[in-house]
Amino acid sequence: MYLIKNVVIPVSKEIDLKEVLAKKLRTRSIEKIQVLRRSLDARKKNNLKFNYTILTELSAKFLKNPDVLEYKNPEPYIQIQRQLSNKNPFIIGAGPTGLFAALSLVENGFQPFIFERGDKIENRIKRVSDFWQKGILDEESNVQFGEGGAGTFSDGKLTSHKSDYYTNQVTKYLIKFGADQKISYEALPHLGTDGLRKIVINIRKYLEDKGCKFFWRNKLENLNIENDQITSVRINGKEYNPEAVILAIGNSARDTFEMLSNKIEMESKPFAVGFRIEHSQGFINEAFYGDKNDFNITGPATYRLTAQEGKRGIYSFCMCPGGSVIPASSQKNGLVLNGMSFQKRNNEFANSAIVVTVNETDYGQGILAGMEFQRKIEKKCFKVDIPYFAPAQKAFDFLNNETNDSVPTTSYLPGIISSDLNSIFPPGITKTLKTGLNSFEKRIPGFTGKGILLAPETRTSSPVRILRNKETFKSATVSNLYPIGEGSGYAGGIMSSAADGYKLGCLFY
């Protein structure tokens, strides 16, 4: 098979890809093609192009063309490591990591037991809507905790920096359980929260059919470790003796991190903090793609912005076109925000996190110092008299240290409260955020003038890493414990977390 890069066509034209390819290669015809990737080239506004990478059969003579390369399907590289006599390893956490670990374990003949502190989706939706509409937060079942994990109420972006055998397996499973085929080739695939919820329910039903068991509202509370081995675990007050424990707890389980920090080898890890910035989607469309496009073909405009101040990076993160800013707290008296959208991405707003990387120099030393730093910021943003209202400020006013009583409407529910966001982060971080915003304004005039900042964004990735062996995935100090996914510090985002989970399952027979 050969891969042909840079097959470029204007988005507005209905074109036969085979013809375009034949023309590019100066050959009469092309028989069969498969689209490997499609990205949108928006470098020139109002002149948007799709850039395709295509797989096809060709003769080797075409290799003279610099856009033609030989292609081999990525191969698995994880080696089977360990025999388990018990067919029911314990998985803690039913997020993307835990679910994809279960899927690959099932392929190898296991029937894992999956313990999840939150509810299954049908009940979780009710808890989350009670929170969003009435301010009643269930600390065990919320936007962070419950079936599908933190991604369930998300934009369902499936961006991945890797394209290897394991991410391909994740994509295959997502399609098997209901995703559109095009997630296999779009450069920026997404499912929307509605798409994800359906897929996660289908995965659950499949796993149950295969003999797996889910235990909802079951929280891992303690590990008993003797001679570097887990001898028992306590879940909802009950002791169990699993042969292997797979820890897929995500980045928000602070009580679990606290319990683990006394028992296994962990370290603090850099992450990023900042705000969400919201604009009208119309402004973003025009600013990034121009005003003469068919957005039904391109989808609403999306962006990725970066800047640098000294050694610190400032960047846009988790941009949600046509979405809304949501409260995503998992602890009472603390506020954290995130972004969510539906498959259609047809909301009138566009939001993105604008964040700055932070490390030990910001939050100090200690395994849980980063986590405490997050908690402090989240507390500062929580207003007791108007719980879960988000502090908000026009980006322009933030840059000029001005407050204004009237902040325009945003997508955020329950509501916003006009505030001075200059006082939320330590001065160094505030200064860096300003450098970033000023740089983005230079590139996109109006970005700060029309942008509203809402605070805070703190849970960009895990504040800790649970140390593990690179090849066996075993905890550095406990031989039957397997820390995986985002919470353990080895992944970030839905795809890479799911792929880390999938790899884990490949280790056992």
Please report, as ranges, the residues that interact with ligand FAD according to CB under 6 A.
Answer: 92-98, 115-118, 143-146, 149-151, 153-157, 219-220, 248-250, 253, 256, 318, 326, 328, 338-340, 485-487, 492-495, 497
> Which residue, 120 or 474, is less far from ligand FAD as judged by CB?
120
Closest contact distance (angstroms) between CB of 41 and ligand FAD is 22
Task: For residue 28, give the 3-state DSSP assignment.
Answer: coil
Closest contact distance (angstroms) between CB of 495 and ligand FAD is 6
Closest contact distance (angstroms) between CB of 395 and ligand FAD is 22
> Which residue, 436 or 492, is less far from ligand FAD as judged by CB?
492
Which residues fall within 8 angstroms of residue 268, CB to CB, at 6 or more apart? Answer: 360, 363, 365, 366, 367, 368, 369, 370, 371, 463, 464, 465
> Which residue, 251 or 293, is less far from ligand FAD as judged by CB?
251
Per the DSSP assignment, residues forming a β-bridge with 266 are 466
> Which residue, 101 or 287, is less far from ligand FAD as judged by CB?
101
> Which residue, 93 or 300, is less far from ligand FAD as judged by CB?
93
Closest contact distance (angstroms) between CB of 29 and ligand FAD is 40
Closest contact distance (angstroms) between CB of 247 and ligand FAD is 9
Amino acid in the structure at residue 218: N
Q: What is the DSSP track for 268-333?
A: E--EEEEEEEEEEHHHHHHHHH-SS--HHHH-S-----EEEETTEEEEEEEEETT-EEEE--SSTT
CA dist., res. 37 & res. 313, Å (int) = 29
Closest contact distance (angstroms) between CB of 493 and ligand FAD is 3
CA distances in angstroms from 454 to 16, 102, 420, listed in the order given: 45, 37, 11
> Which residue, 138 or 397, is less far from ligand FAD as judged by CB?
138
Cis ω on the peptide bond leading into residue 456 (within 30° of 0)? yes
Structure tokens at 111: 């029937």
CA dist., res. 402 & res. 453, Å (int) = 13
Closest contact distance (angstroms) between CB of 186 and ligand FAD is 14
CA dist., res. 326 & res. 222, Å (int) = 32
> Which residue, 90 or 363, is less far from ligand FAD as judged by CB?
90
Cis ω on the peptide bond leading into residue 483 (within 30° of 0)? no
